[in-house]
Amino acid sequence: MAQAHSEICEQQLNGVSEEIELLHIEVFTDEGQDRPGREDARCSRNVLRKQRHWERQVAAKKSKRKEEKMRRKLNREQQTGGRAGGPLLTKRVLKAITRERLAEAQCTGLKLCVDLSMTDSMSSKEVSRLAGQLRRLYGSNRKATQPFHLFLTNLREDSCLYKECIRMNSGFLRYMMDVTEDSCLDLFPPETVVYLTPDAEHALETVDSDKVYILGGLVDESVQKRLSLSRATELSVHTARLPIDEYMVKKHNPKNFHSKILAINQVFDILLTFCHTGSWTEAFHTWFPQGKGYIVAQDVSSTPDITVAQS
Ligand SMILES: C[S@@+](CC[C@H](N)C(=O)[O-])C[C@H]1O[C@@H](n2cnc3c(N)ncnc32)[C@H](O)[C@@H]1O
């Protein structure tokens, strides 16, 4: 009996120490208790830092799970052609449907260019990340029931980005989009062009088939502020920002971090969902990254553990 009891105690202790190990929290024994005060303060700072790190990891995992769920839902919708409970289609048929949709988009779809004229000021790491973002952007377009007509402008075949796209993005040369060395203004009249930039004064209200939307091919690693706004000014075209201020509020967070600057594929996912649903609220709710310190205004009342920060 006594032996069984001590085995249970030992198992419980093992469980607790495993949990502590998972949390990466340092625990001090009696010997450590009479350390000088400074040492104690340093230790508790370490514990807090590690706890915050752990909380950030949990939040990131939660956000990834949500994105995965959304992706699976979109895949399911695509497989059934948007009809719940519809028949599952074979891979070959799905591929044919995707190609047909993309071909149709190249004739009648909404137009979006990624302006790749600014890659010279980017590091090779940033160029690789941009190649990855272009792959994700194209992947989202392939899955869309109403894809955009995509253009990669100012992309030279001898550029590092072009080489990186071929190296990293399998099938890049067969992507169903227009790749050109020309600039967006060689392709479209300036009055139809709307350059999307986080620094624009006016918010984008809707997505219009008479307009051509431009995303700046930039990665914000070594944050180059207002670069896309300067580029739009140089081209003398209209600008617009995503209507984040109009539909979202700042969320309180320990670092008081709030950013409205998104990666090009994130902006594109938001545009696709807005075009599909007509709702900015839904588009931001689905795609706005959790770590940016914003929450959709409508979601505040249904999320009691969130506190809104002063703007
Ligand atoms: C990583 S951002 C580049 C931010 C960069 N500092 C700049 O100069 O704009 C890449 C591109 O995504 C688009 N973008 C990102 N956040 C946006 C927002 N809040 N509103 C509109 N466009 C945005 C813009 O086209 C921008 O050029």
Structurally, the chain folds into a number of domains equal to: 2
Look at residue 2 in the predicted model and tell me its pLDDT.
45
Nearest CA residue ID for atom 6, ligand 1 = 225
Tell the residue nearest (CA) to atom 19 of ligand 1: 198
Q: What is the pLDDT of residue 282?
A: 97
How far, in Å, is the centroid of ligand 1 from the Cα of 3? 66
3-class SS of residue 109: coil
| pLDDT at 76 (0 to 100) | 67
Q: Say if residue 28's pLDDT is above 70.
A: no
Which of 261, 271, 288 to mutate to test ligand 1, by most ligand atoms within 8 A of the CB atom? 261
Percent of the chain with pLDDT over 90: 60
Tokens of 129: 């990340």
**Are 199 and 168 found together in one domain?**
yes
pLDDT band at 27 (very low <50, low <70, confident <90, very high): very low
Residue 6: helix, strand or coil by DSSP?
helix
Structure tokens at 36: 């000088």
| Bridge partner residues of 114 (DSSP) | 152, 215
The reply to whether 31 falls in a domain is no
**Helices within the chain (DSSP H only):** 2-23, 30-33, 37-79, 91-108, 124-143, 160-168, 184-187, 227-235, 244-247, 264-277, 280-287
Q: How remote is the CA of residue 46 from the centroid of ligand 1, in Å?
A: 36
pLDDT tens digits, one per residue of 99-137: 999 999 999 999 999 999 999 888 999 999 999 999 999
Residue pointed to by tokens 């949390």: 23
- pLDDT tens digits, 140-188: 999 999 999 999 999 999 999 999 999 999 999 999 999 999 999 999 9
How many A from CA of 226 to the centre of ligand 1? Answer: 9
Structure tokens at 75: 């895949």
Cβ partners under 8 Å of residue 194, min gap 6 = 204, 211, 212, 213, 214, 237, 238, 239, 240
Q: Which atom of ligand 1 is nearest to the CA of 214?
A: 25
Last residue in a domain, options 217, 241, 265: 241
Among 215, 241, 267, give the residue marking a domain's end: 241
Buried b (16+ CB within 10 A) or exposed e, 208-246: eeebbbbbbbbbeeeebeebbbebbeebebbbbbbbbee
Average the pLDDT over each of 34-43, 192-201, 209-218 and give the range with the smallest value: 34-43
Alpha-carbon span 137 to 280, nearest angstrom: 19
Report yes or no on 182 lying in a domain.
yes
CATH assignment of the domain containing 221: 3.40.1280.30
The verdict on residue 89 lying in a domain is no
pTM of the model: 0.76
Among candidate residues 182, 206, 241, the one where a domain is terminated: 241
241 C-alpha vs ligand 1 centroid, how far in Å? 8
